[in-house]
Structure 1
Amino acid sequence: MTPAERRGLWLGFAGVAIFALTLPMTRLAVGTPQAPLMSGVFVALGRAAVAAVFSALFLLVTRAPWPRASEWWPLVLTSAGVVFGFPLFTSVAMRYVEAVHASVIVGVLPLATALVGALLHRQRPSHGFWACALFGSALVVAFALLRSGPGEGLHLHVADMLLLAAMGCAAVGYGYGARLSQRMRAEHVICWALVIAWPLTLPLALWTRPAAALPASAWWAFGYVALFSMWIGFFAWYRGLALGGTVRVSQVQLVQPFLSMMFAVPLLGEHLDLVTLGFALAVIATVFAGRRMPVRAAPRPAASVSPALEPR
């Protein structure tokens, strides 16, 4: 392993550690159905609006060049995934599920990220990869059904479906963001993604802002997800992916569910039982196995011109 790859792994771990606090802090900001605090929409859009201000200043200070024409559409997709989709779905869901529960649901995110990365690079995942992806998804659904609530029958809670949607959004945002990090500064990727979303996030955040006084803990939690989860964490994460490679560095996501659970217990007073821990271990083992399955390059189409006439 080269020094750059080793540095990439450490930066990737730093990003994952920052992201691991996102679910507990979001829960702390939105409250519970019995004691609601901030709305999930405000937490999601407000944190993006705040981070966009820091992003604009950072782009000015570092004299960031304007993205090239070919980079705008990937930036829009990155923004749709990690600025709008994942924060919005998780923030709304976290009022209705505990952070420990949510950590299991999003545990298959590394596999989803690997799948998006394979599609972006026009690769073909093996049958083993697909088997692991299906089994991991089945474990997540089984856990959600098992925890659907006594006397309510087996069904997926709306919050669980929102978390699954958030996982898909994050995978798309990570995949396109990592791809952009190969062509532009990793720090600039998330900054531009936030800045281009600001005309939407700012007015919507102001419209949904809390009208009543809230405890300081909710505002501290909001500050964390705005400054760290939405901004600084991506500095480390995208830089790590660029230095160490997406396939290698994304492996460190395997520890994120356990870190989230460890943070949720003291911060929120949640309980970690053996069933939840068992499902988390099973999901992570499936993800680990899936990430080791071969992913083949797709066959190149036959050339329509003779090799002598092909552009060089």
Structure 2
Amino acid sequence: MSTQNSAIVSSGVAVSRARLGSGLAFLGVLAFSGSFPATVLAMRGFDPWLVAIGRAVIAGVVALVCLRVARLPLLPPRHLWPSYALISAGVVFGFPVFSGLALSMGATTAHSAVVIGLLPAATAACAVVRAGERPRPVFWVACTAGAVAITLFTFTRGTGGAAWADLLLVLALLSAAVGYTEGGRLARSVPGWQVISYALVVSLPVTATVSGFLAFSTPISLSAEALGGLAYVGLISMFLGFVPWYAGLALGGIARAGQVQLTQPLLTLGWAWVLMGERFGWITVAAALAVLVCVAVTQRART
């Protein structure tokens, strides 16, 4: 009887952790959802390369301040440097650079949302390879259905962009999946805010040098919308959003909690409507319902 009670308690704790993880992951998704519109706004006054790299400098300075206030070393332990280098390659350099260049080459916000629609599936696959997670078959069915729904929906919006922009979006997708998986794995033993802080600090010598060069060699047109967009991607997309995101992946499981990101394309389109005046019809409602069903199924499918 005691064994049965212990099993029930353990199961309840696991469910609570999973729900908390999904909730934290959604806070991260909510923060990330404004990244594409904010990037477009920032590029109205700054070079695409400067936006992509400069956002990491803004976030890196904030990370240094947080580490100093917490009285922690400004550099991570040496044995964790390979993990932080991998995270930096994925989310500090890869995703911002590739997605920003895709947007600058004509890919619309709606078309770029395809990346986000497919990202949870790619992250789940990386979680199997890198983090040793083994989701149930029903998880993969729901995951695939959600990705297909988002892909079909976003391809009905806008012109779709050029072939080179599509290649850049695929590279952004792969970069983010690797960075999310490694960060979520590391967040099992290191607080999420420290994970992103050290990833930013490790890359700061490169990002600061490149950003300084670009700031003096590329045209800059200061405006409220450009500054606001750059501040958003630097403070929220590149730092604050990762704090609950990595914590959520660690608590809820990288594959499972990551599926909450299936809601991000619709949130992104909502921001595009509010900030850029884009209008959407009944297809948006149908896609939202389809995605919410898929998210609900993945959240009930235990790893």
Interval containing the TM-score (normalised by the shorter chain): 0.7 to 0.9
Aligned residue pairs total: 286
Q: Percent identity?
A: 38
**RMSD (CA atoms):** 3.1
Which of 45, 50, 65 matches 1:57? 65
Match of 2:107 in 1: 97
2:96 is aligned with 1:87: yes
In structure 1, distance between residues paired with 2:43 and 2:55:
13
Match of 1:309 in 2: none
Residue identity matched to 2:238: M
2:243 is aligned with 1:241: no
Match of 1:232 in 2: 240
Change (3 A) 1:97 1:275: farther
In structure 2, distance between residues paired with 1:12 and 1:293:
17
176-185 or 211-220, which deviates more: 211-220
Match of 2:170 in 1: 164
132-141 or 69-78, which deviates more: 132-141
In structure 1, distance between residues paired with 2:17 and 2:145:
34
Match of 1:107 in 2: 117
TM-score normalised by the chain length of structure 1: 0.78
What pairs with 1:125-204 in structure 2 (closer than 5 Å)?
149=159, 157-204=163-210
Which of 250, 256, 264 matches 1:256? 264
In structure 2, distance between residues paired with 1:160 and 1:282:
24
CA contact (8 A) 1:86 1:169 kept: yes
In structure 1, distance between residues paired with 2:173 and 2:119:
6
In structure 2, distance between residues paired with 1:142 and 1:158:
20
In structure 2, distance between residues paired with 1:15 and 1:281:
21
In structure 2, distance between residues paired with 1:48 and 1:20:
17
DSSP-derived class of the 1:118 partner: helix
In structure 2, distance between residues paired with 1:212 and 1:138:
39
In structure 2, distance between residues paired with 1:7 and 1:127:
23
2:84 is aligned with 1:78: no
Q: CA deviation at 1:173?
A: 0.2
Q: CA deviation at 1:15?
A: 0.8
Q: CA deviation at 1:136?
A: 7.5
Q: CA deviation at 1:222?
A: 0.4
Structure of higher CA gyration radius: 1
275-284 or 42-51, which deviates more: 275-284
Match of 1:214 in 2: 222
DSSP-derived class of the 2:241 partner: helix
CA contact (8 A) 1:15 1:236 kept: yes
CA contact (8 A) 1:24 1:260 kept: yes
Q: CA deviation at 1:38?
A: 1.7
Match of 1:269 in 2: 277
Match of 1:38 in 2: 46
- The gaps in structure 1 that reach 5 residues or longer are 32-36, 296-312
246-255 or 230-239, which deviates more: 246-255
Q: CA deviation at 1:9?
A: 2.6
Which of 16, 24, 32 matches 2:37? 24
TM-score normalised by the chain length of structure 2: 0.80
DSSP-derived class of the 2:278 partner: coil
Change (3 A) 1:192 1:139: same
Q: CA deviation at 1:127?
A: 8.1
Change (3 A) 1:93 1:282: farther
Report the structure, 1 or 2, having the larger helix content.
Answer: 2
In structure 1, distance between residues paired with 2:118 and 2:251:
23
In structure 2, distance between residues paired with 1:93 and 1:83:
16
CA contact (8 A) 2:90 2:175 kept: yes
Change (3 A) 1:174 1:207: same
Residue identity matched to 1:158: W
Q: CA deviation at 1:142?
A: 7.2
